[in-house]
Chain A
Amino acid sequence: MAEGRQAAARRPWVFAAFALPSLGWLLVFFLVPLGIIFLYSVGENVSLTRVETTWTLSNYARILEPEILDLALRSVRIAGLATSICLVVGFPMALVIATASPAAKPWLLLAIMLPFWTNLLIRTYALLNILGTRGRLNEALGWVHGKLHGAFELVGLERLGLLEERFTPFTFLGTETGVVIGIVYVSLPFAILPLYSALERMDRSLLEASLDLGAGQLTTFRRVLLPLALPGVVSATIITFIPALGQFLTPDLLGRGQVDMIANVIERQFKGANDWPYGAAISMILLYATFILLALRAFADARRSAARAR
């Protein structure tokens, strides 16, 4: 790494030649469009097709309407739930991969990444199939119900009424549950990878030392493993939460249009409502929220390094 920096100092033009295309790409395809969206958000429709930047805050003010705040709250709730589930499910999986043998590791990673390469729309449609009232999940649950019921009958417990006579399929589609399942399914690879990365870099000998010194498994997990993996957990949270907040496809398809989230409102502004300034304003709010989270994280990181340096 130090050699690289030295080389950069010795040959600034070579460094620039490599850096310029990437920086140019970032500028033209990211920063400039973002700037345009910002200008839209403080602008107004002056005709059916033109927006003028009048530096008005009326679009931001519209966000304070009760229905928007309701939707924002619902989005935070659903995204938060999905993120928590991703962390709880993803942490053991990341641990397994991190502690797997070097031969097994790439295969396990592939198993996590492969569904991720399939188009989001197709994966969501697959879930439609699985979560329907006559879908695979209900089929499986019905089978379990049948077996349990049979077992109870055998033992003579069916009169206790613990289990219904007939299995009523659960409704997943059109409810928040279905949407959360969809978001978890789609976001799990995003959660596992940073966790895996942090767990892999962790010094195993610290765990061994903790166990040797008499701490039980649970205490070691709580007081040694988790704190060491914390940067990974924070990354995983941010990488999962922010896109989950901006989901509109999953609520539309799996929520059957009944579980709108904030991004559905944004989508409508750019399409049917033809109100790009308003849509841009809501998008910018999500962006500001992201920036604040990232800034907080950078701040926490800086404080931690400062503490360590002392």
Chain B
Amino acid sequence: MQRIRRPLNLLRTDRRRFVQAGLAVGFSLKIPAGAFAQDGKVNFYNWDTYIGEDTLENFTGETGIQVQYDLFADNNELFAKLRNGNPGYDVIVPSNDYVERMILAEMLMEIDHDKIPNIANIDPMFTDPAFDPGRRYSLPYMWGTIGIGYRKSAVDAPPTSWSDLFVSDKYAGRIALLSEPTNVLQLAMKAAGHSLNDWTDENLAAAEAMLLAQKKNITAFAPDNGQDLLLAGEVDLAMEWNGDILQVMEEDDDIGYVLPEEGGLLWEDCLSIPVGAPNVDNAHALIDYLLGARAGADIADFIYYATPNAAALELMDETYTDNPAIFPPPAALEKSELAIFPGQEMLRKIDEAWTRVKAG
């Protein structure tokens, strides 16, 4: 005889099944982490691998303030996160041109210098930049350059000009550029002999044409792994951040870093407090701690970027202070420039030029 199968009738429910379903729904909900304001807490939003190993632990040990540490991958992610209102961060780490952008958009809170005695540790070179006069909205954290990483055995001499990447076909098929439109076009303008902040329609068009002509010689537009391509031998020249190249220089002696004679791009990452931060006093405490000599030295020693903290610099040894990839020679540094925010109009034109380069 055929077995009659009763179909499962969920609607003919019983109390036990209803409770089970209810628990399932309940456990899938979560009370948001920031729902209850807490004393002794600070929310720190930073780049990945951009702090010393024990820095935050030591901070909590000294001050008793707990740190909620979140990570972002690039400035665009940071800006997009904060664009529609601060989701609860107390201290953020934007780069100089994004500090400028956020000041314009009124997203940053003024920093009370009285609460930050360690401001005295900052090297005078960084105390009054054009993008934030008087450092009202930001304090320097780390700085560095974008230059050329290269494989010593593959070139007859260290590259001396951006045109090796942007114009010449000497290294055809062995070149990697960054993938951020603004950075690449800025340095293309440098290769053409202009300032990297000279955003005019003509300069932009010339840079676009230069890139379209060079595109066949370029192996990759690498988002942040140009140094890996260099290490793996897939490319011989890479436009990259100095810190990234330093990482692979540790693993391979055959890799070098140089700022070309036109100069490179100078960048500065800064500590800021976004408007709407829930723990403003603790934010000041964290910033003050990070600007301390010991903390600054620990951070610099671990992440190997250049520190703007003069007091921390005194605690470092020559392998750090004399490293030309971290602290470029004055001649090259002089011609390197900090980027300014091009403005929303120009951002659109930059994007359109970049789309044409990528589609061509």
Contact = CB atoms under 8 A, between A and B. Distances in A.
Interface string B1-21: 000000101111100000001
Contacts of B12: 7
A65 B349 CA distance: 13
Contacts, number: 97
B222 interface: yes
Contacts of A45: 344
B234 A65 contact: no
Contacts of A56: none
Contacts of A48: 101, 104-105, 344
Contacts of B355: 67-68, 71, 260, 265, 268
A161 to B, nearest CB: 26
B233 to A, nearest CB: 8
B304 interface: no
B11 A14 contact: yes
Contacts of B163: none
Interface in B238-271: none
B136 to A, nearest CB: 19
The majority secondary structure among interface residues of chain B is helix
A264 interface: yes
A160 interface: no
A268 B222 contact: no
Given A67-B359, A257-B358, A4 B11 contact: yes
A256 B12 CA distance: 56
Interface string A1-39: 101100110010011001001000000000000000000
Contacts of A268: 181, 351, 354-355
Interface in B344-359: 344, 347-348, 350-352, 354-356, 358-359
A256 B35 CA distance: 42
Nearest to A68: B355
A12 B105 CA distance: 51
B326 to A, nearest CB: 27
A interface residue count range (under 10 / 10 to 19 / 20 to 34 / 35 or more):
35 or more
A174 B219 contact: yes
A133 interface: yes
Interface in A55-77: 65, 67-68, 70-71, 74
B180 interface: yes
Contacts of A11: 11
Nearest to A273: B351
Contact of A272 (B21, B84, B107, B351): B351
A47 interface: yes
Contacts of B101: 48
A135 B184 CA distance: 29
B77 to A, nearest CB: 7
Contacts of A264: 358
Contacts of B10: 4, 18
B9 A7 contact: yes
A18 B7 CA distance: 18
Given A49-B105, A257-B222, A272-B182, A4 B9 contact: yes
Interface string B67-105: 000000010110110011000000000000000010011
Top 8 A-B residue pairs of the complex, sorted by shortest distance between their CB atoms: A257-B221, A271-B76, A256-B220, A273-B351, A7-B11, A48-B105, A260-B358, A67-B359
7 contacts: A14-B13, A48-B344, A49-B84, A67-B352, A258-B218, A260-B358, A260-B359
